[in-house]
Amino acid sequence: MTSVPFPREAYYERIGATTTLLPLVTANTSTTPGALGVNFLRNLVLAHLSTIPFENVDVLLGRPISTNLADLYNKLIHARRGGYCIEQNSLLRAAMVDAGFTHIRTLGGRSVIPDEAVATGRLHVMNLVTIHGEEGEEERWVVDVGTSAGVPMGPLRLDTTASQFTPAGEFRISKYDLCTNKEMMHYARPVGGFDEGWTEYAFEMHAHSGTWRAIHRFDLQPQYPRDVFAMNYVTYQLAVIGYSLRGSRTVTTWAPEGTQGIPNGVGGWVCVPRGVHGLRVETESRVSVRTLNAYPGAPDAAPPTGELAPPVPHEEHPTTPGELYDWMVEYLGIDFTQTRLPQYNVSREEFEKALRARVVLFGGKEWEPPVY
């Protein structure tokens, strides 16, 4: 990842936080890593998720995905597009470093959706942020804005197994002994027990069924820019994400701190989650518009006042490539026809052609897992 200046003003304008978060970053002169605190991170994550959607359209078009920071700034900020996990979390990492969160480790994760028993390739990227707690102790937080489904919408404390409440619901982080994994049984157990190299963590979501469901498993080995480059290449060249259309965006508003019973405000303001728009098209089309009613530190709080866009009736779900194109523009806020950087534009014709070639629902070839 090439070192280029972070476009601070443009980023905070992009996420709608020029009067809420940007002044805090500008005024921060502390040399203490993470001096702005975890509440700043909570609001930053929500603001980012609400304006920079998860989407994989370029992968379907066969366009290479760059991990160069200059390219990420152009695509996700200036061209007002979205991206998938590696793009999203790389951009957020740069924003956090610029805001004084300088102790950040990039981690690699494995998706365990839909089968937790299968050890998939390490193709997901997330960030581990170390900050000083209120009493001076160091706290480690997992920050991930790069999942189209199951994203916690807030930082998760690493060093606890207790339930943690986020705008997306209840989550927890668990630890796994790698040698209990059926694909790892042939490795010898290390003398003296297990260290971080032999342990995987997982962030898990409390599902509506009452069970805990793992979303990603990860370890604490640092992933360097060349590691991220390799993961990114395999993802857009070979992974299943190139054979399905995915997108999501959180809906938020800014409210004065202390209103509506929602904590975690910063600088007099709090980013209030309202709902989420989601899209996944493979062998079928699943489109959702749902309201959120779980908030950080207040899991039983009533939803804030104000209406989210009403649920889309089933018969009105987009069913053709052209309708999906329009849905992504309207609900995800993607600008496919901006004039500043036309190389990131996507015409309706390109979009429809890509879906018919790559997505099974529209006649595309079914994804075949690589043979390892």
Tokens of 332: 């995800």
Q: Alpha carbon of 79 to those of 146, 180, 317: distances in Å?
A: 19, 46, 27
The amino acid sitting at 232 is N
Catalytic: 144? yes
- The rounded distance, in Å, linking the Cα atoms of 251 and 110 is 27
Nearest residue to 146 (alpha-carbon basis) of 288, 214, 10, 246: 246
- The rounded distance, in Å, linking the Cα atoms of 256 and 153 is 20
Collapsing DSSP to helix, strand or coil, 7 comes out as coil
- The rounded distance, in Å, linking the Cα atoms of 113 and 170 is 17
Q: Exactly one of 48, 58, 78, 85 is catalytic; name it.
A: 85
Q: What beta strand segments (E) does the chain contain?
A: 54-55, 104-111, 122-132, 138-143, 156-157, 164-166, 169-177, 199-206, 212-218, 245-256, 269-281, 285-291
- The rounded distance, in Å, linking the Cα atoms of 308 and 274 is 6
DSSP 365: P
Q: Exactly one of 48, 58, 124, 271 is catalytic; name it.
A: 124
Nearest residue to 83 (alpha-carbon basis) of 68, 97, 98: 68
What sign does the CA torsion over 252, 255, 261, 265 have? positive
DSSP string, 56-93: -HHHHTTPPPP--HHHHIIIIIIS---B-HHHHHHHHH
- The rounded distance, in Å, linking the Cα atoms of 278 and 151 is 12
- The rounded distance, in Å, linking the Cα atoms of 15 and 355 is 29
- The rounded distance, in Å, linking the Cα atoms of 282 and 118 is 20
Contact at 8 Å (CB) between 146 and 124? yes
Q: Exactly one of 144, 216, 271, 277 is catalytic; name it.
A: 144
Active site residues: 85, 124, 144
